[in-house]
A = this chain, B = another copy of it.
Amino acid sequence: MPTQTVSTSSPTRVSPADSPGFFRRFLTAMGVQNMSLLMAIAFVVLVIGTQNPLFFTVPNLKVIGTAIAISGLLAVVQTLVIIMGGLDISVGSIAGLASVTSAMIFTSAGPLIGVVGAVGIGLLCGLINGCIIVFGRVNPVIATLATLAAYKGIAQLISDGRAQGYTGADPFFVFLARGSVLGVPTLIWILVVIALGIHVLLRYTTMGRNIYAVGGNDVASRLAGININRYILGIYMMTGAVAALAGILITARTGSGQPVSGSEGLELEAITAAALGGAALKGGKGTIAGTILAVILLGILTNGMTLLGVNSFWQNVAKGGLLVLAVVLQQLRSGERRIGLPG
């Protein structure tokens, strides 16, 4: 250190004395977003539980868990795509395509090849999405809107619009649909494993960090040496694969490959959950924990209202209202300024 000059005083003006209290620290760790969701879940559980104590029974909890497994899977990967700054509207169609193909391949070649083939098709669909976006320079929303139509058409064509095959007698598919490990249904395990995996990926790996960076500022990420095209392709392929897995689960649950039924509209559900869980549609922000909480909130809401015998029309109204409420709470608690378009 030759000619030294000044060293600026203390870099921060926060004295060690005023370290935030434990409650504040917990809040920060949990995130305002997640706290509000937890509160909303607690509120809904309380209301429904007091109306009908059966809500709390283990079988019903299993019912909720298995009901959210498929949409949960899609919400989790959608979160990943959204954090990276993209969107994948084609997930429902990929799931449908995977559902029929898994059943058709299964019928001729057995469950394992059925699953592998379907996941392979999902990867291919994701790769196509990614290529259209990266090399065709098409906005992710339009690109996947287009492939939403195209993949659906392909699923209908190869199945001639009919449910395909019968997997209800195959031990593997039955295990997927109705089996359980350590008393917890397989479907829930699958969601937990995938969600945990992606959570770890996002939170603790260099790849995950880079995904946040790409979503936060793609120019900066590129200049910082991140190969962003590879990330975009990779994430879309991953999304395709998980969507295919969801399709296989649809096959397992319904006992046959469904080209459209059961997968149509899943994309909106997934996006709703991701956004409710705090993923910013502009990219760079979001957590798997938030998304999973949102999936749970939506799941118990549907289950609870059906359990209480709420008419399906009222369910729509209540769901919309509660969604607004949950997010408004979130936002007001985060103390953001009330100006302009919220991100």
Q: A interface vs B, CB < 8 Å?
A: 1-2, 5, 7, 84-86, 132-143, 145-154, 156-157, 160-161, 214, 217-219, 222, 228-229, 232, 268, 271-272, 275-276, 280-283, 312-321, 323-324, 327-328, 331-332, 334, 336, 338-343
Contacts and interface: CB of A to CB of B under 8 A. Distances in A.
Contacts of A84: 341
B142 A313 contact: no
A145 B323 contact: yes
Contact of A276 (B137, B142, B281, B341): B142
A218 B161 contact: no
Contacts of A145: 268, 271-272, 275, 323
B137 A316 contact: no
A153 B320 contact: yes
A180 B207 CA distance: 60
Given A156-B316, A218-B339, A222-B340, 12 more contacts: A7-B219, A136-B331, A137-B338, A138-B327, A138-B331, A139-B280, A145-B268, A146-B324, A153-B315, A153-B320, A229-B338, A232-B341
A2 B337 CA distance: 12
Contacts of A276: 142
Given A136-B324, A331-B138, A85 B316 contact: no
B281 A141 contact: yes
A195 to B, nearest CB: 21
Contact of A317 (B157, B219, B321): B157
A332 to B, nearest CB: 7
Q: In the complex this chain forms, how many copies of it are found?
A: 2
A155 B269 CA distance: 21
Contacts of A314: 153, 157
16 contacts: A133-B341, A136-B331, A136-B332, A137-B332, A139-B327, A142-B272, A143-B324, A146-B320, A149-B319, A149-B320, A150-B317, A150-B324, A152-B320, A157-B317, A219-B340, A228-B341
A137 B275 contact: no
A151 B339 contact: no
A103 B339 CA distance: 38
Contacts of A143: 324, 327
Contacts of A2: 340, 343
A9 to B, nearest CB: 10
B343 A139 contact: yes
Contacts of A7: 219
A155 to B, nearest CB: 9
Given A138-B331, A272-B142, A150 B321 contact: yes
